[in-house]
Chain A
C-alpha cells in the first residue's frame, strides 16, 4: 500500500539548522560594512532623523543586505561547495537546505523594504529593494557566471548603502551621497581582483569567470593598478568639492597614495610569485582603505558640525 508507507525521504527530513546558521546566511562581515557606510551616508545628510528611527532605518538596510546575502548563498550553493573559502557555508555544509535559505531571504527582503518604507520613506525603501534585486538577480544570477566584468557592474550593489542612508534621512539623493557611492564602486574591482589573483584556482574550479581566469594575471594586475589611479583622486573629491575639510583631504590623499603603492607592488609582482604576498597585502589594505575613508569622512562631518565649520 504505497499510500500508507512511511515517507521519510528528503521531503520529511528535519532541519538541524540552529539560529546561528541563519545568521551566517546574512554574511555578517559584509553586513557590518553596509551598516557602517549607510550610517556615514545618513550622518552626512543635512537633516538628521530622530535617533531611534535612524537606528531602525540602519537596521532595515542591514537586514536588506543580509537578505540579499541569503539569496546569493541559495543560488550560489553549487559554486560555494567547490571553493575552499566558501565550502563551509551553511548550505554547502548541509546545515541549511536551499529552500529554507530562499524563503528566509525572500521574507527578510520584504520585511526590510517594508520597514524602511513605513518608518523612513519610500525612496529609501525603493533604493533598498533595487539593491537587493541588483545583487541577487543582476549580479548573482546573471553577471557572476557570465562575464569577467561581474564585480565591476555588480559592485554597484555594495555601493548603494550610503545613498540609502542619505535618502532615509532626507528623502532625496545628492551629489555627496553619489560620491560616497563612487568611492565604493571604484574600490570593489581592485579589492576583489586582488582576492581573485591568489584564489584563482578556486574560481577556476567553480567555473566563475573572474578576471585572472579570463584575461590572465598580468592583465588583471594592470587593471588593478588602473583602478587604484581612479580611486585615489575620487577619494579626495569630498574635499575638492567643498563637502569636507582639508583634514579629510589630507587623510584621504594619504590613504589613496597607499592604495596606489600597494597596487603598484601588485603590478610589478613577478609572474612566478605563487605566494602572491603583494596581492594579499593589497586585499588587506583595501579593507583598511575603505574603512579609513569613511571613518575620516564621518569624523570630518561630526567635527565640522560640532565646531560649525564646513569646507575649510
Chain B
C-alpha cells in the first residue's frame, strides 16, 4: 500500500494556523453571543 504524504510549506502552515484560529474564534464568539442572547431574551422580551 502506497501512502502519499504532502508536506506543507511554511507559508501553508502559517496560512492554515491563521484560518484555524479565525474559525475557532468565530465559533467561540457565536457560542458566547447565543448564550448571552438567550439569557437576554428570557429576561427581556423586547425583540
Contacts of A47 in B (CB 8 A): 46
* Chain A residue nearest to B7 in the complex (CB): A14
B46 and A56 contact, CB distance less than 8 A: no
A50 and B22 contact, CB distance less than 8 A: no
A56 and B6 contact, CB distance less than 8 A: no
- Given the known interface contacts A6-B4, A16-B12, A19-B21, the answer about A119 and B46 at a Cβ–Cβ threshold of 8 Å is no
The interface size bin for chain A is: 20 to 34
Contacts of B31 in A (CB 8 A): none
- Given the known interface contacts A4-B2, A14-B8, A56-B33, the answer about A19 and B46 at a Cβ–Cβ threshold of 8 Å is no
The binding surface of chain B is classed by DSSP as: helix
CA distance A245 to B34 in the complex (A): 38
B37 and A52 contact, CB distance less than 8 A: yes
Which residue, of B2, B44, B47, has the highest number of chain A Cβ atoms within 10 A? Answer: B47
Q: Which of B4, B21, B47 is in CB contact (< 8 Å) with A49? A: B47
Tally the A-B contacts, defined by beta carbons under 8 Å.
56
Sample 18 A-B pairs with CB under 8 A, ordered by A number: A4-B2, A8-B6, A14-B6, A15-B15, A16-B12, A17-B19, A18-B15, A19-B22, A20-B18, A22-B19, A50-B40, A50-B47, A52-B36, A53-B37, A119-B37, A121-B47, A168-B47, A169-B47
A residues with CB within 8 A of B: 4, 6, 8, 12, 14-20, 22, 47-50, 52-53, 56-57, 115, 119-121, 168-169
- Besides the contacts A15-B16, A18-B19, A53-B41, what 8 more A-B pairs have beta carbons closer than 8 Å? A14-B8, A15-B15, A15-B19, A16-B12, A19-B18, A50-B40, A52-B36, A119-B41
